[in-house]
Chains A and B, each alone.
Chain A
Amino acid sequence: MVEGQAEAGIGPAVATPRRNGAPARGRSAVRTARRLLIYLPLLPSLFAFIVLLGYPVLLAVLISLQKMGLRELVQRTTVWIGLQNYAAILADPTFWAVAVRTLAFTAVNVGLTMLVGTVVALLLGALGRWLRLALSISLVLAWATPALTASVIFQWLFDSKFGVVNWALTSIGIFGDFTNHSWFATGLSTFGVISLLIVWQAVPFVAFSLRAGILSIPTEQYEAARVDGASDRAIFRRITLPSLLPLILILTFLSAIWDFKVFTQIWTVRQGGPAGETVTLAIYAYLKGITGAQYGLASAVAVVMVVLLAFVLIPYIRTMLRTQDDL
């Protein structure tokens, strides 16, 4: 946002230096050549997008219409089967369970991330200087931690025998005895740990973004409201929240996109276990495709994932484009 707006109105855009006294003939040819020359620096990027992104996307769609397993792959045969892969996954009760689970998992994570992110953003504004600095540093620590490291750390924190969480809960006492409690015994509890670690990593970005958004609201609005005797809650609901709404929308879209397709954290923690209870669509596609070598089926899952994502992606990209002046 910040960057895009800087561009509007800066400088004359096209550089076609005029040369006084150039011969009239050949000028238009030179001009055409110049005009085409501008596309030259775009070619490497275009080539990369077409070969490394466009082609795989096309391939995903094509393969989802084929019977493609290890045999077909090695023999390089193409067996078109129409929509049978889609029929197969839609008829698979596991797929539906996984799809519903993925949506619920995404909704919970996004909701928690936005809620905690908002609270932390407000907290950053309410704290004194030193506590605010300390909070900023601890947020950066969580944000910078690679997803993989975070997954490993949380497994250690929630270790059944020597994990510090079990010790802390047992010491507090009011929750009962957590000695040797296994957090990874049931799907729900495993999801709890995974969600906690995803939210832990996602909150800093949301909180910092919202904090930046709050700081950009003109202070006159707050002063005027205070003079009129508005309560803190009224100020938050009438001024802060409406001004932040576009930003909140973008952050919600982004979180939904990220959480929907998350793989690393779920896989590292229990590979979709126990008993497949934490398998989401990303893990499901991996298990079908890479482990099961059913490439056609896995591609169909991938296409379904992209279609589901499109419900969030399209409004997101629209919002994005609206905030860019030069688009």
Chain B
Amino acid sequence: MPRRLRRIAINALGVATILAFAFPVYWMASTAFKQPGDIQTYVPKFVPFPPTLDNFTTAVTRPYFPDYLRNSLVISISTVLLALVVGLLAAMAIARARFRGRKSFLLLVVVAQMAPFEALLIPMYLVLRQANLLNQIPALILTYFIFTLPFTIWALRGFIAGIPADLEEAAMVDGANRFQAFWHVVLPLLAPGLVATSIFAFITAWNEFLYAYVLMRDTANFTLPVWLATFRTAFGTDWGGTMAASTLFTLPVLVFFLLIQNRMVGGLTAGSVKG
């Protein structure tokens, strides 16, 4: 009997926890699909019926939305490509070769990983100002590149180490040069690792708010997070529009996140970067 009681208690706790973690996301999506009259009600309507896309239309027809979307995409994709190319070079070297200074370099990566970028805002601002990059898209690309580079190196190094070096050597014995061995043997095996690492870098750049908010001055240069943060003030109490905008902003992150979620658990405690 106490055993059955325990079972019930555990399941009840389980259901309560499920609701606590899922409800805010559900509430965002549900508000986004509600008719305007169904949002501001004293007794909440839990199901958006009949659903409407009006809020999404309001959100995307706000001035500059296409600019913000383009900026966010350009910045995030450039960050990923830059971090991947630079990171892959370093990761190959430290995973495959032993050389003097290797440990120091790894230590540097670990320390860079933990750099408190929120505290470095002022000097970063001044450096970019010196370089005449304030209010320019490349400023954010460079910033996010250095945010994501340490993790990229660290993660790729792990993925490369998982590929037996014998394979490359076999290819080289068969007459392939080092580059061919990399291109035809390592790269295809590394593809899942590259995808996971790029998604991580993409999410970091896509979500970042503080630097985008401080470094960009012209409205047309804002990214989606800045747009979203100013949305509520600009919109007053239009929670429908705000939630539709939030849903649109979150959707790609959610999809990407589901793809790499399994790799994040082990990888993060090792790589130690927040998702």
Binding site for B on A (CB under 8 A): 1-4, 6-7, 10-15, 17, 35, 38-39, 41-42, 44-46, 48-49, 52-53, 55-57, 59-60, 63, 73, 120, 123, 126-128, 131-132, 134-135, 137-150, 152-157, 159, 161-162, 164, 167, 200, 203-205, 208-209, 212, 247, 250-251, 254, 257-258, 261-264, 267-268, 282, 285-286, 289-290, 295, 298-299, 302, 305-306, 309, 313, 316-317, 320-321, 323-324, 326-327
* A-side contacts of B229, CB under 8 Å: 148, 152, 267-268
Partner of B11, one of A60, A127, A162, A203: A127
User: Which one of B12-20, B49-57, B60-68 is at the interface?
Assistant: B12-20
Contact flags (1/0) for B79-106 with A, using CB distance below 8 Å?
Answer: 0000001110110111111110101011
With known contacts A13-B96, A162-B42, A2–B267 Cβ distance under 8 A: yes
With known contacts A156-B242, A157-B24, A285-B119, A44–B90 Cβ distance under 8 A: yes
* A-side contacts of B190, CB under 8 Å: none
Q: Are B99 and A299 touching (Cβ within 8 A)? A: no
Q: Are A134 and B18 touching (Cβ within 8 A)? A: yes
In the complex formed, the residue of A with least CB distance to B94 is A42
Q: Are A156 and B239 touching (Cβ within 8 A)? A: yes
Contact flags (1/0) for B155-182 with A, using CB distance below 8 Å?
Answer: 1011101101110010010000010000
* B-side contacts of A162, CB under 8 Å: 39-42, 44, 239
* A-side contacts of B164, CB under 8 Å: 10-11
With known contacts A131-B11, A212-B265, A305–B18 Cβ distance under 8 A: no
**A-B pairs with beta carbons under 8 Å apart, 13 shown:** A10-B161, A15-B97, A42-B89, A49-B112, A57-B120, A123-B10, A137-B22, A138-B18, A254-B269, A299-B123, A302-B123, A306-B119, A326-B106
> Which residues of chain B from 3 to 39 have any CB-CB distance to chain A below 8 Å in the complex?
10-11, 13-15, 17-22, 24-25, 27-28, 31, 39
* B-side contacts of A60, CB under 8 Å: 119-120, 122-123
Partner of B90, one of A12, A41, A146, A317: A41
Q: What is the CB-to-nearest-CB distance from A75 to chain B, in angstroms, rounded to a whole number?
A: 14
Q: Is B58 an interface residue (CB 8 A)?
A: no
* B-side contacts of A134, CB under 8 Å: 18
Docked CA distance A56–B265 (Å): 31
With known contacts A10-B161, A156-B243, A209–B250 Cβ distance under 8 A: no
Q: Are A146 and B41 touching (Cβ within 8 A)? A: no
Partner of B250, one of A139, A146, A164: A146
In the complex formed, the residue of A with least CB distance to B85 is A44
Binding site for A on B (CB under 8 A): 10-11, 13-15, 17-22, 24-25, 27-28, 31, 39-44, 85-87, 89-90, 92-99, 101, 103, 105-108, 110-112, 114-116, 118-127, 129, 142-143, 145-146, 149, 153, 155, 157-159, 161-162, 164-166, 169, 172, 178, 206-207, 209-210, 214, 225, 228-229, 231-232, 239, 242-243, 246, 249-250, 253-254, 257-258, 261, 264-272, 274-275
* A-side contacts of B143, CB under 8 Å: 52
Docked CA distance A321–B154 (Å): 13
Docked CA distance A205–B264 (Å): 9
Partner of B105, one of A42, A254, A264, A320: A42
Docked CA distance A131–B15 (Å): 7
With known contacts A3-B155, A327-B107, A205–B274 Cβ distance under 8 A: yes
Partner of B214, one of A63, A167, A257, A290: A290
Partner of B110, one of A1, A7, A286, A320: A320
Q: Are B110 and A209 touching (Cβ within 8 A)? A: no
Known: A63-B122, A262-B118, A263-B209. 12 other contacts (CB 8 A): A4-B161, A41-B90, A41-B92, A44-B90, A45-B86, A140-B258, A142-B25, A156-B239, A156-B243, A162-B239, A200-B24, A299-B122
Docked CA distance A13–B160 (Å): 13
The 8 closest A-B pairs by CB, nearest first: A3-B158, A11-B165, A7-B161, A138-B22, A2-B266, A144-B257, A41-B89, A52-B146
Docked CA distance A159–B149 (Å): 39
Q: Are B126 and A52 touching (Cβ within 8 A)? A: no
* A-side contacts of B31, CB under 8 Å: 156
Partner of A6, one of B11, B13, B158, B206: B158
Partner of B162, one of A3, A39, A212: A3
With known contacts A52-B145, A157-B27, A263–B118 Cβ distance under 8 A: yes
